[in-house]
Homo-oligomer: A and B are copies of this chain.
């Protein structure tokens, strides 16, 4: 902390100018929220459903939303004793009534179903939930949200700008978002950080010295141990880690982002230059410069939400790398990109080819039965180049089954343990493309991804 410069007020103001909702924006949001609340009530009445309350939750309700985002969370709460099935049918019935006024509506599913609608340009989630007495009695994960609202709203009052700065700063560092694709920081998490450390600046200073095992427990009520890199005990639930979804690498990326920022507090840490897509000629130049082997497993993007898709892609990335390693290929790094129509798992290898000959080491000569069996199997067999004794063990030079990584993946990828949706898509067809072959993928977003990759 010692040698870092302070964050200039001017810089913070410049950031806020770009991210803080304007007065008209604020008013519009309020109006829309009120409209939605009244529509929910009317719908409930029309459907003869009583004892229903409407709650606005999330950043929009707490005044910690970034200008330009148009997300509203409307929670439709039912008495605690309502049977789950009834809650779902009645909740969705009300939501569907409201959706009649929307530009677009879509059924979604978390722990239970909810409705996502586009209403006057806003992205609105209509979420049925239980009205429980305390966060420790929740029946579904969403039931917790109102408690978060209750905790944050009064405490973050006056600190909204600090939350906005931190959110945008995390966006700039690529660590904002707790979805399974990003595995970064959630909005609630940033609010708690500001409540705990008091300001954006304090948070950034503190994070520079974070280590895995860092624990923040605002209510001092932690009840269990967690083994995630960062533990933010939920003030509304002593058993829950708000940072459970944060990966080690996103945790480290944030620390790194904070350190770099404090060395040179500049606007670019909030608004990094958008990387340009890589052109074919650049791809070829980079391949020539690196002289490694680039492989991409390309298949049709499965038609599932990102929170379902990405864990399966990360699993596939690991499985493909493990398969390659099992057959002696050296994987330098792996990556995942998914676009609207196509998805690619990328693998960079030391080399995509190995010799035909493979050294197969057997048991020590003096372990008689094993050694003799081993020798019998390989001596003079088809595809065996030769044999000798090395360090007391029989060694045979045998024919390598998969001398190319491409061939190996083509033949054995389907034997890997793959997630359901990915497995389905891959089994319908996939392609292994190598080196300059990736120029085939023209998607701009993919080309932007490639600039970070190569």
Say whether A357 faces chain B, with CB atoms less than 8 Å apart.
Answer: yes
Does A389 count as interface, using CB distance less than 8 angstroms?
yes
The verdict on A212 contacting B366 (CB below 8 Å), with A355-B350, A389-B252 known, is: yes
Which residues of B sit under 8 angstroms from A353, Cβ to Cβ?
Answer: 291
Name A334's closest neighbour in chain B (CB-CB): B390
**CB nearest neighbor in B for A364:** B252
Q: From A332, A333, A355, name the one whose CB has the most chain B CB atoms within 10 angstroms.
A: A355
Distance between Cα atoms of A333 and B355 in the complex (Å): 13
Whether a CB of chain B sits under 8 angstroms from the CB of A277 is no
Contacts of A252 in B (CB 8 A): 364-366, 389, 392
Among A7-15, A113-121, A132-140, A253-261, the one that faces the other chain is A253-261
A184-204 toward B: CB 8 Å interface, digit per residue (1/0)?
000000000000000000000
Cα distance A332–B356 in the bound complex, in angstroms? 12
Report the separation of the CA atoms of residues A452 and B389 in the bound assembly, to the nearest whole angstrom.
Answer: 12
Total residues of chain A contacting the partner, CB 8 A? 47
Q: Is A238 an interface residue (CB 8 A)?
A: no
Q: How far is the CB of A126 from chain B (nearest CB, A)?
A: 38
A248 at the interface (CB under 8 A from B): yes
Q: Which residues in B have their C-beta under 8 angstroms from that of A454?
A: 385-386
Residue numbers in B under 8 Å from A372 (CB-CB): 259
CB-defined interface of A343-364 with B at 8 Å, one 1/0 digit per residue? 0000000110111110100001
Q: Is A210 an interface residue (CB 8 A)?
A: yes
Q: Is A53 an interface residue (CB 8 A)?
A: no
Q: Is A208 an interface residue (CB 8 A)?
A: yes
- In the assembled complex, the CB of A254 is this many whole angstroms from the nearest CB of chain B, namely 9
Given contacts A357-B291, A365-B255, contact A212 B333 (CB under 8 A): no
Say yes or no: A359 contacts B333, CB within 8 Å. yes
Interface status of A86 (Cβ within 8 A of chain B): no
> Which residues does chain B contribute within 8 Å of A392, judged by CB atoms?
212, 229, 248-249, 251-252
- Given A211-B366, A359-B332, A366-B255, the answer on whether A391 and B290 have CB atoms closer than 8 Å is no
A377 at the interface (CB under 8 A from B): no
A177 is an interface residue with CB less than 8 A from chain B: no
Residues from chain B with Cβ under 8 Å of A388 in the complex: 333
Contact of A274 with B by CB under 8 A: no
Tell me the nearest residue of chain B to A390, going by C-beta. B249
Which residue of B291, B293, B386 is within 8 Å of A403 (Cβ)?
B291
Pair B357/A253 contact, Cβ less than 8 Å: no
Across the interface, name the chain B residue whose C-beta is closest to A263: B372
Check A357/B332 contact, CB under 8 A, given A249-B391, A255-B365, A351-B351. yes
Nearest chain B residue, comparing its CB with the CB of A366:
B211
Indicate if A209 sits at the interface (CB-CB under 8 A): yes
Q: Per-residue CB proximity of A324-346 to B under 8 Å, as 1/0?
A: 00001000110000000000000
- A355 near B292 with CB under 8 A, answer yes
Our pick among B259, B354, B365 for the contact of A350 (Cβ within 8 Å) is: B354
A368 touches B (CB below 8 Å):
yes
**A residues 202-226 with Cβ under 8 Å of B?**
208-212
A304 within 8 A of B: no
The answer to whether the Cβ of A273 comes within 8 Å of any Cβ in the partner chain is no
A289 located at the interface, meaning its Cβ lies under 8 Å from any Cβ of chain B in the complex: yes
Instruction: Tell whether, in the assembled complex, residue A256 and residue B291 are in contact, meaning their CB atoms are under 8 Å apart.
Output: no
In whole Å, how far is A348's beta carbon from the nearest beta carbon of chain B? 8
Nearest CB of B to A316, in Å: 18
Residues of B with C-beta under 8 A to A386: 452, 454
A143 to B18, alpha carbons, bound, how many Å?
96
Q: Which 8 A-B pairs have the closest CB atoms?
A: A292-B355, A252-B365, A211-B366, A290-B357, A291-B355, A291-B356, A248-B392, A252-B389
Pairs A–B under 8 Å by Cβ, sample size 8: A208-B368, A249-B389, A251-B392, A256-B375, A289-B356, A332-B357, A350-B354, A386-B452
